[in-house]
Amino acid sequence: MYQSIIRDPGGTGLIRIQPDVCGQYSAIVNGSILIVPPGTTAFVAINGTLSHPYGPGRYEIFTGVDPFFVRLRNILTRGDSGTTVSVFFVSTERAKFVKLGTGEFPFREHRFRITMKALASCNLSFSVSNPLKILTKLVGSYSSVFSEEDIDPCIEQMVITPIREAISKEISKLDITEFNSKLSHIGNMAAATIRNGLSEYGIKMERFNLVAINIPDSEINRLYSLEQEYAGGKTRTDLELDNLQRVWNGNVNNRTLSEMMTGIPSRGQAPSSGATNPGGNAGGMAPMMMQMMMLSQMLPALREPLADMTRHTDMFSGSTSDAQESTSSADAPPPIPGRYKRCPSCNGNVMRGNSVCPICGYRF
C-alpha cells in the first residue's frame, strides 16, 4: 500500500471537505502527505478526534497504519481498515457573499403594543475568523456523513439567527411606515448586534445591507382596523371637546361647580366692552339671573329629599320629636264642646240648650 497525497479539492466554499479518505480498500497510512494551499487552514479528523491546525505548507500524517501491514489487514478485515479520516480545508482570507431571507420573525408595534410578524431580505458578506470554532459549531463530531453540500445551509442557519434578533429589536422602535424609508439606518444600527452574534460562531461580518422589510397582509389589515377604531374615538373626543370649548369660551378646565351643575357659564360669554354692552353689567347679570332661576327650580325638588334625610337621621330624630311635642302643646286649639249633656237625675241625654230635662223634669 502506497502513501497517499491529500490536496484541497478546491471550490468557492469557505470550507471544503475530503470526506472519509480511508474508505473500503483504501487507507491513509503513516507518511501520507497533506498539502495545504495559501490562505487556508486544514484540520484532520481521525476517528472523530480533531488534530491541531495545519497552516499553508506540506505535512506528513501519521495515522497509526503501517503500509506493510495494510494489505494483510485488508485481507483479514475484508477491506475495513478500522480508521476513519476526514480532512477539512477552511479558507481564512476569502469572503463569501450571500443573499438571505429571514423568514417570519416577531416584533413589537410600539403604538398599540401588539406583537406582529415581519419578513426581511438582506445581503451579507462574511469570512471565517476562527476556523476551529466554526468547525466545532458546524461539523460537531466530524463524522463522515457530513458532506460539503451540508456546509452552506448550516452556515446560513447560523448567521440568520443574530440577523433576525437584531432587525426585530430595531424595527420595534419605529413606525411601520418608516421601515422601508430607513433601511440604511436600521441596517447600521443592527450591524453591531449581528457582528457580535456571528463572532460566537467564529465568523467575521464584512458587510451587511438590509434590502427590504415586508409585513404580511393579514398583519397589515389587523393594524388598519385598530387605527380606524382609534381614529374614530379620537375624532369623537375632539368634537366633544371643541363643542365644550365653544360653550365655555376655551375655559373648560376652570369651570365652577355651579356651572357644571346648571350648564350655564357665569363668565366669558357676554362681551364687557361699552360698544357691545352699553349697560355695563347687563351682560354679566343675565347669566346670574339665569342661574338663580335654575336654582330656584331645583330647590323644590331638593326640599323633600332633605326633609326625609333629617327625618330619618338619628341626630335630628330626638330634637324633631321634642319640637313637635312643644309645638302641639303650645299652639293646639281648645276642644270643640259636645252637643248633648247628661241629666244627673235620670242619666239621660239632654240637648245642651235645654234648661229642663224632658224625661224626668229635672231643672238644670
pLDDT digits (tens, 9 = 90+) for 248-298: 666 666 665 556 555 665 554 444 444 444 444 444 555 566 666 666 666
Cell readout for 5 is: 497525497
pLDDT at 273: 45
Residue 182 has pLDDT above 70, yes or no: yes
- Out of 144-153, 235-244, 345-354, the most confident range is 345-354
- CA distances 200 to 99, 129, 162, 173, Å, are 21, 10, 10, 26
As a whole number, the mean pLDDT across the chain is 76
Residues 99/160, Cβ–Cβ less than 8 Å: no
Residue 33 has pLDDT above 60, yes or no: yes
Q: What is the DSSP letter of 4?
A: P
Query: Roughly what angle, to the nearest 10 degrees, separates helices 282-312 and 314-331?
Result: 90
Which residues have CB under 8 Å from 13's CB, separation 6+? Answer: 91, 96, 148, 151, 152
Residue 19 to residue 151: CA distance in whole angstroms: 13
Closest CA to 116 of 187, 180, 190, 171: 171
If one compares 2 and 60, the residue with the highest pLDDT of the two is 60
pLDDT at 289: 60
If one compares 262 and 239, the residue with the highest pLDDT of the two is 239
pLDDT at 242: 72
Residue 350 has pLDDT above 70, yes or no: yes
494489505: which residue's cell? 71
CB atoms within 10 A of CB 19: 19
If one compares 182 and 76, the residue with the highest pLDDT of the two is 182
Average of per-residue pLDDT across 46-54: 81
Residue 347 has pLDDT above 50, yes or no: yes
Residue 305 to residue 357: CA distance in whole angstroms: 59
Least confident stretch, 8-17, 164-173, 203-212: 8-17
Residue 120 has pLDDT above 50, yes or no: yes
- Out of 137-146, 227-236, 241-250, the most confident range is 227-236
